[in-house]
Amino acid sequence: MKFSIITVCFNSEKTIQNTLESVWSQNFLDMEHIIIDGNSSDGTMEIVQSYSKKCNYPVIIKSECDQGIYDAMNKGLIISSGNYVSFLNSDDIYASTDVLKKISQCDGMVEGKDILYGDVILYDSSFHVVV
């Protein structure tokens, strides 16, 4: 089993570090992280490049103009190679370090299913729970 985690971003220097650390902290490493950047003009790509150097799993980075978030997501899907795809946007994080491990343990139960989803916890900019 392999996960393709797709993160799309554009001028996300204020939030993407938390997203990248959330992926990096996963305790299930049979994955690739695909980062599709819309040609950011802030420090997003410097953060992404620094992150990619410390990873012990493939990090695929593509930075170019696109036609919006869905175009970027489709670019990520085209180059993904995992059995499962997870979209984790540049201002999102996984709720724990074992999210991918828990999903991998359900492999037999999800056979023949096209979509899996989980709970969402919303935070404000100070990381206080909103919902």
Question: For residue 88, what is the DSSP state?
Answer: -
Kindly list the structural domains of the chain, giving each domain's residue range(s) and its CATH number in brackets, ordered by start: 3-110 (3.90.550.10)
Q: Distance (Å, rounded) from C-alpha 70 to C-alpha 93?
A: 19
The per-residue pLDDT for 95 is 87
Beta bridge partners of 31: 3
Q: Give backbone dihedrals phi and psi of 7, rounded to 5 degrees, phi first.
A: -120, 120
Sorting pLDDT into bands at 50, 70 and 90, what band is 6? very high
Evaluate if residue 50 carries a pLDDT over 80.
yes
The per-residue pLDDT for 44 is 98
Contact 82/3 with Cβ under 8 angstroms? yes
Evaluate if residue 81 carries a pLDDT over 90.
yes
Evaluate if residue 5 carries a pLDDT over 80.
yes
The per-residue pLDDT for 123 is 63
What's the mean pLDDT in 63-87? Answer: 95
What's the mean pLDDT in 52-78? Answer: 96
The per-residue pLDDT for 113 is 66
